[in-house]
Structure 1
């Protein structure tokens, strides 16, 4: 994902508009329409100018959908189920990024360029129809609460004026910043792996591109465990759990420096270590998504904001989206320079050190 000022500006505009408009539904529909326009240009574009326009619409749609999808889940889910719903959403993003290139390549090989676009176009049509029929629970809750206004008015008045809204300065909050830094760290490590693992396996183990690609299943499959973890481990302290996972990730990340021989035992150990890294990274990422919403709700309560009227969730997940983009930008750069200067062992040790350090700091901050 590109990380530049235009990317950040798009997300800031989207989050401010989505928080001011009392509906997530219609901005999200605009995002899906932008995806449809982008897909149309990619399918029929035959010049560089058309491809650039398609990329612009793709970036716009990514900013809208990436921010609002998490905000809608946060608005809809109850606090006890928020972690589980975020785990579903995080896993769906992970598997979408995996299955997209695989399915697209298979369709292109068998049916050509037009056949490759059949699935995305079909999914877009279904998405637009379903989003048109979507009923926003947040608005419905407001109507229900309006019936009991006499009972709730004293409670709301003790927290402050509900006509206020959150400003960017309100997000300078220890809990929120810790979640954003953690998300950037996780995204950086996963992106670093995406850029270095295929080259390492081809050079060291003489693996084919297919085998190297299948290795990413070891990173992605553990993401499915985040769903039962979020469901059955609600009593755990989410922030402390994520911090411990980052600390534990130091060990398999550092151990990857010990498998640089092309022997069978080293290859088996390599796959096991990569799977452990995937387990700690993907399951903690799902919990961080839920932690962002909890942090925003805490900020709203502290500032006396009625989340049914002036929610700051869009802004919160815009920051989260930028953190992911920043990680995807920094991860390959750090990993690339580290491997060129220090070799594979030095690179994995640095990644492990970053994970362990952020985990330790987060653990003490969240005590």
Structure 2
């Protein structure tokens, strides 16, 4: 009985019909509070990831007894271990989150793991304990990102998802910006343990917010007592609800040829009917039921659009995290900067992350393809020109900061459209084959794949940059990352938002979904299909 009460408390479920609603239910289940809590969770995760970046090189030599000449190697290893743990934990977290009745419960489990990781890293006096701490920290991050992004879609649906994910991007950028700065300054002025006192204070705030959070579907249990606004949960839409979305999508002929089926601002009279007709009536005897796949991730991975988006996320994360392993040591040996300076040098590359909501809004309006491709293209010359920063002078410092600022802007333009693209693809598959992912959908598993891609970048980036910088120098490291950018831009150009050769979309919603909306004779079923797919079927 006590275990049941504890589980109900952690998940937020109503214990029995006579249970009163939680205090301040309307506020705790509001869209604003849920988004703030998720942003705080992402901020905490990124802060705890980045706060030790300028501290680790010195902690390795002072506390773990690592020789100074081996510090670069172990910095890269610790960063890569985090990425490896994130890579493994993300799909497991997504699978569990899509099968549990509460998103809050796995979020709390992730917070416990994050607290344990922070304690380990604080007390570690050996490389082995540092590695274990980073492993646990990576596992916790997998839970936060996977479950958090799924809860975001549950809360706000598909409409304006790019812009709202941009606010998550701001939280990530603020965490990464503040963390190295705080870590470097506090370590230099107050010592090693003071850095972790800040971390524990942040964890306490995060714990309070996650315990206060009430999901909308959980809050709906008290509808008989108090009304809760916005009870709908994304991923469980009926056909009628799908028709009310601004950019619902369909797949045609087994491919991600997606069409919005929502009501336009001009009041088109057929759009709701078209979206509703996508899902056949339950009483129809002529349409066989859709089989439910045992492994939703395999269904998701059959989408070339999704693979292109994941590949773009991996490349973006690789380039962003590559500098974590080389930039502090580069400015230390080139400009003779202290740990404070090593933390401050991350500001130019991370401050542009504040533009993420703007980039997300542009993606919602004009589609994800060209914004993401433009970001990759803009990053290429910045990475190549890093080779000209090679000695200590004021002009060299200004040049480095300018290149990092433009690079940060380019990378900030890539992630929001690709994250929104993942939501569009899941919605497309669900509308095309209702129930294909089960009653609870597959948003957590889809974002688990995103986290895997991001983690792959966290794994590849530091190792790549550290190895190339050590063997061939700073300049070669820069242009090698530029080659990665080219490799990321090409698939994104071809498949993001739909196959580029058949993308004749005109309106903003159509561009977001990658297809032009046209009416065709479909044998009396009614609906809207893809013009390019019709041509394909005629061949």
TM-score relative to the length of structure 2: 0.59
* Structure 1 range deviating more: 102-111 or 267-276: 102-111
1:79-118 Cα offsets, whole Å, 9 max, x none, are 3321122111122123223423543565566667775544
Cα distance change on mapping 1:331 and 1:153 into 2, 3 Å: closer
Is the CA contact 2:278–2:432 (under 8 Å) kept in the aligned structure 1? no
Identify the residue that residue 304 of structure 2 maps to in structure 1.
174
Between Structure 1 and Structure 2, how many residues are aligned? 365
Is the CA contact 2:371–2:413 (under 8 Å) kept in the aligned structure 1? no
Structure with the greater relative contact order (CA < 8 A, sep ≥ 6): 1 or 2? 1
Q: Distance in 2 between matches of 1:344 and 1:108?
A: 27
Identify the residue that residue 137 of structure 1 maps to in structure 2.
216
Cα distance change on mapping 1:161 and 1:315 into 2, 3 Å: farther
- 1:84 paired with 2:175, answer no
* RMSD (Å) for aligned C-alpha atoms: 3.6
Question: 263, 267, 281: which is aligned to 2:397?
Answer: 267
Cα distance change on mapping 1:308 and 1:225 into 2, 3 Å: farther
TM-score relative to the length of structure 1: 0.83
- 1:277 paired with 2:407, answer yes
Q: Structure 1: which 5+ runs fail to align?
A: none
Secondary structure at the aligned position of 1:234 is classed as helix
Identify the residue that residue 439 of structure 2 maps to in structure 1.
309
Secondary structure at the aligned position of 2:364 is classed as coil
TM-aligned CA deviation for residue 174 of structure 1 = 0.8
Is the CA contact 1:198–1:213 (under 8 Å) kept in the aligned structure 2? yes
- 1:335 paired with 2:426, answer no
Identify the residue that residue 252 of structure 1 maps to in structure 2.
382
Identify the residue that residue 34 of structure 1 maps to in structure 2.
113
TM-aligned CA deviation for residue 73 of structure 1 = 1.3
Larger radius of gyration: 2
TM-aligned CA deviation for residue 347 of structure 1 = 2.1
TM-aligned CA deviation for residue 211 of structure 1 = 2.7
Cα distance change on mapping 1:45 and 1:357 into 2, 3 Å: closer
TM-aligned CA deviation for residue 76 of structure 1 = 1.8
Identify the residue that residue 18 of structure 2 maps to in structure 1.
none
Pairing 1:158-307 to 2, within 5 Å after superposition: 164=292, 167-172=296-301, 173-231=303-361, 234-305=364-435
Identify the residue that residue 103 of structure 1 maps to in structure 2.
182
Secondary structure at the aligned position of 1:141 is classed as coil
1:266-321 Cα offsets, whole Å, 9 max, x none, are 43222211111111112322332222222222233334237793221111111111
Q: Distance in 1 between matches of 2:192 and 2:325?
A: 27
**Whose helix proportion is higher, 1 or 2?**
1
Identify the residue that residue 202 of structure 2 maps to in structure 1.
123
Cα distance change on mapping 1:345 and 1:61 into 2, 3 Å: closer
Q: Structure 2: which 5+ runs fail to align?
A: 1-78, 219-230, 244-274, 282-286, 501-539
1:26-71 Cα offsets, whole Å, 9 max, x none, are 1112222333344455667889998777656534322211211122
